[in-house]
Structure 1
């Protein structure tokens, strides 16, 4: 069986602040961003790849999601981290943008194993809500 990740939902305090960060700093284009601003979409998303998006869900709605999914306590907490793989030039440019925003990129790994094997270098940073993102490139 071959599958891909369709979307990941992360909890954020301020959806517009997070949308701005992911669009401007990380470089992921907004999905339904204008619809969210217009009040016709419940949350904005950002496109990671042709096949995957990250939904930016309001942490304040976590209790309602728990009720809908019938799994009390399952919503509202962060995942450990999300990892994005980029071309080497895009990896370097992302690091520069994060650092220009005052983000800390000092933590990283060498020869870190991931979905496509070993990546020569990685770095970690946080979004405005403390969600941890790992960036890497493959040769």
Structure 2
């Protein structure tokens, strides 16, 4: 079996700028292709999670080749961070408009047990912040 890894997550957004600001402010992620998106040269901007993973923000009005719907089957996505980042996110989340949605608590993940906290972003997307060091 080939080695696999997550390349990207794509989120629908009614206010792309709000989500760009939210996630960049919460995690310190760099934004990509924002100027090109604003100029109409590309259909969406992205946030760089790490060297090999991005989150794409699709404007809800944007039509795609694949059927796009504001009704999603995505339950949540999870971001694994170190302990200092986990604590910083806990402090900064409410300031940036994230609603706590459960936790912190010990949960199973890709690398075993970790402490996790769930949040809702300003558009209601559920995301989990997980720390394996705690």
For the superposition of Structure 1 and Structure 2, which TM-score range results when normalised by the shorter chain?
A: 0.7 to 0.9
Partner residue, 1:123: 117
Unmatched runs of 5 consecutive residues or more in structure 2: none
Corresponding residue SS for 2:103: coil
Partner residue, 1:25: 26
How far, CA to CA, are the matches of 2:128 and 2:118 in structure 1?
A: 4
How do 1:1-139 and structure 2 match up within 5 A? 1-61=2-62, 64-65=63-64, 68-69=65-66, 75-78=69-72, 79-105=74-100, 107-119=102-114, 121-139=115-133
Corresponding residue SS for 2:88: helix
Q: Which runs of 4+ in 1 moved over 6 A?
A: none
RMSD, matched Cα: 1.8
How far, CA to CA, are the matches of 1:126 and 1:27 in structure 2?
A: 18
> How much does 1:29 deviate?
1.3
Unmatched runs of 5 consecutive residues or more in structure 1: none
> How much does 1:26 deviate?
3.3
Per-residue Cα deviation, 1:66-107 (whole angstroms, up to 9, x for no partner): xx23xx5x6333311010000010011011110223533361
How far, CA to CA, are the matches of 1:49 and 1:136 in structure 2?
A: 16
> How much does 1:109 deviate?
4.6
How far, CA to CA, are the matches of 2:130 and 2:5 in structure 1?
A: 18
TM-score by length of 1: 0.84
CA contact (8 A) 2:25 2:96 kept: no
